[in-house]
Structure 1
Amino acid sequence: MPARGTRSVDVYDFRRPTTLAREHTRVLELAFETFARQWGTQLTAKVRVVSQVACEQVIMCTYDEYAASLPPTTAMVLFALEDFDAKAVVQFPTSAALSWVGHMLGGNGTQIVTGERKFTLIEQALLRRLMEDALEDLRYSLGSLLVTPISVDGIQYNSQFAQAAATGDLMIVAGFEIRVGESIAAATVALPADALLPQLGETNPTRSTANAKELVHAQLAWVPVDVSLRLASARVLPDRILNLAVGDLLRLPHPQHRPLDVAVGGQPLAGAAVGANGSRLACVVTSTDFGDAAAPLTTPAMHVQENFR
């Protein structure tokens, strides 16, 4: 027990974060959920017993943490990835695997499996076929996320001595629940993070600011703005406004021959004549010459004019 008043501190390497971004987690969860359905279908066909596989969680952790979470004795099928020293792992209890083999050989699943033991040569051959089929399902489910060739490498039985990767290597670990008939077993699939993360892309991609002006102008062209069609404004005293009544007449200094103003945010951008579009009022742009005042809004002005044509 640590002394009272002291706290244990874990060293965190910011260059190698051990948590997945939310968007990456969701993509991987969907992929492993697809794999779970495929794996369940494949087990049903092979062992001739209704089987279901469910994905329970997807995390990223170091290989040391992953190995420490496994039982001391368990079946670990290792998969070699081209150009990577670290190996992928499919782990499940040996007792569950022996039950699957028993069904494949015609058993009814009532045989008693005592303890965890190594597989015989025949059992290894049958399990290898199961894993090769599962590997095809994994390739299909991950799709473009797994671009590295992968193949079955071997079987280990001790989680502490399997040496599938260096202790500090990051692994993407998916946890599964496998139900074959009435028996339930927990399984995991671990893949080197370096083999998957590059295909997931950046979580918060950034763009160069070298062409900031062009980027701003391009964005402005797609920002919605409120457009108004207005007459020339008149200046009146507050007393006139406060005493307005129904039937009062306000004189506006807008000649009959002058087009109305098309304005955005109070800034006139074009002249237009009143018209109709079906049952709705519309305006026809007649001029866009408003001098230098409209220059700062040239890009959105062009967008607005197109909407009014």
Structure 2
Amino acid sequence: MQIEDTVRVGDAAASPAAPERHDFGRPAALSREHTRALAAAFDAFARLWAMQLTSKARLRSHITVDRVTLETYDEYVSTVPTTTTLILCTDDGSDDRAIIEFPVSTALQWIVRMLGGDAAHTLDTRALTPIEFALLRSLMDETLGHLRGSLGGLLSEKLAVSAVQYNAAFAQIVSAQDLVVVARFSMRLGDRTEAASIALPAAVLLERLTDTTSTPHAAPDPDVVRRHVEETPVELVLRLATRSMRPDEVLDLAVGDILSLPHGEDRPLDLAVGEHVVASAAVGANGARLACVVTSSDLPRTLAEETA
């Protein structure tokens, strides 16, 4: 009997897994190039969002991106809490939509802290009052601005906060089987760690992202680069020949000490940019101001002719 049992267990372990359905009408995941571009953009947004919450909500914040995925709206809805804060962002003139999601207790904590209170304890989960939503909306308007800036031209400039919902099933920005790009974040707010997410319709976002990444980068114009270099301010220094000293000699310096420098009286001074000597000059005057008269150029002949 023991042998039969052993054989049955082995057979069950060796049996292949049940086949999974694959929808050839939708991509399995984001391409590697799109994933890198979106991860970098959301990472930049996470840093800006953390700084905003630290300053506006007076709450030490650290936000990191966990992952960026491509999934249907139904799949996204199944992963968020039943009751949560969903900030709906829309643009009446286009198909741009967005959801910024985080716990209701976190939203209430931000509001209490913006009003000068202390929300150290866990707050009850409830709907926001009109005044509370107005305060949260002003905060999320700035957050949405950070999101638009981080994603570049992937989001409409007219995308704005329009409403708040507490159940993802009622905050439907696309149909149930339409794809959305979902970015999930870990938010460390003081001593607490919360989860947050952002969902964006994939159709418009990926089309713009493809156009952006497929556009060849324009070759730099040599004349433009040269003009930028030539117009960059540099610090020009007129200096004597340097002398080396030991640290103990420097520490023993006192008022009235005389230091001899290895610079002859008839030798011109060095005219330098940083550590590079570019010319020799003699001390002169220009009205009531000190000046220098360039006596020779230390630039290579080819470079001097090129910059003339």
TM-score interval, smaller chain: 0.5 to 0.7
Q: What letter is aligned with 2:90?
A: A
Equivalent residue, structure 2, for 1:74: 84
Pair 1:200-2:218 in alignment: no
CA contact (8 A) 1:68 1:160 kept: no
Question: Superposed, which structure 2 residues align to 1:108-257 within 5 Å?
Answer: 108-114=118-124, 116-147=125-156, 149-201=158-210
Query: What percent identity do the matched residue pairs reach?
Result: 43
Pair 1:21-2:21 in alignment: no
Note the residue ranges of structure 2 that are not aligned, 5 or more in a row.
Answer: 1-14, 215-308
Partners of 2:64 and 2:133 lie apart in 1 by: 25
Equivalent residue, structure 2, for 1:89: 99
When the two structures are superposed, what TM-score results if normalisation uses the length of structure 2?
A: 0.60
**Deviation of 1:148 (Å):** 5.8
Q: State the SS of the aligned residue for 1:73.
A: coil
Counterpart among 58, 70, 94 of residue 60 in structure 1: 70
When the two structures are superposed, what TM-score results if normalisation uses the length of structure 1?
A: 0.60
Partners of 1:202 and 1:108 lie apart in 2 by: 47
Note the residue ranges of structure 1 that are not aligned, 5 or more in a row.
Answer: 206-309
Partners of 1:124 and 1:168 lie apart in 2 by: 30
Equivalent residue, structure 2, for 1:47: 57
Task: List, as ranges, runs of 4+ consecutive aligned residues in structure 1 with deviation greater than 3 Å.
Answer: 81-86, 202-205
**Deviation of 1:51 (Å):** 1.3
Distance 1:106-1:25 versus aligned 2 partners, 3 A rule: same
**Deviation of 1:44 (Å):** 0.9
Partners of 2:121 and 2:138 lie apart in 1 by: 22
Distance 1:23-1:97 versus aligned 2 partners, 3 A rule: same
Partners of 1:135 and 1:173 lie apart in 2 by: 15
Q: Which of 1 and 2 has greater Rg?
A: 1
Q: What letter is aligned with 1:133?
A: E
Q: State the SS of the aligned residue for 2:166.
A: strand
Cα deviation per residue 1:258-294 (whole Å; 9 max; x = unaligned)?
Answer: xxxxxxxxxxxxxxxxxxxxxxxxxxxxxxxxxxxxx
Partners of 2:69 and 2:140 lie apart in 1 by: 22
**Deviation of 1:8 (Å):** 5.0
Equivalent residue, structure 2, for 1:32: 42
Report the aligned-residue RMSD.
2.4
Cα deviation per residue 1:4-33 (whole Å; 9 max; x = unaligned)?
Answer: 98835324033x314100011000000000
Q: State the SS of the aligned residue for 1:102.
A: helix
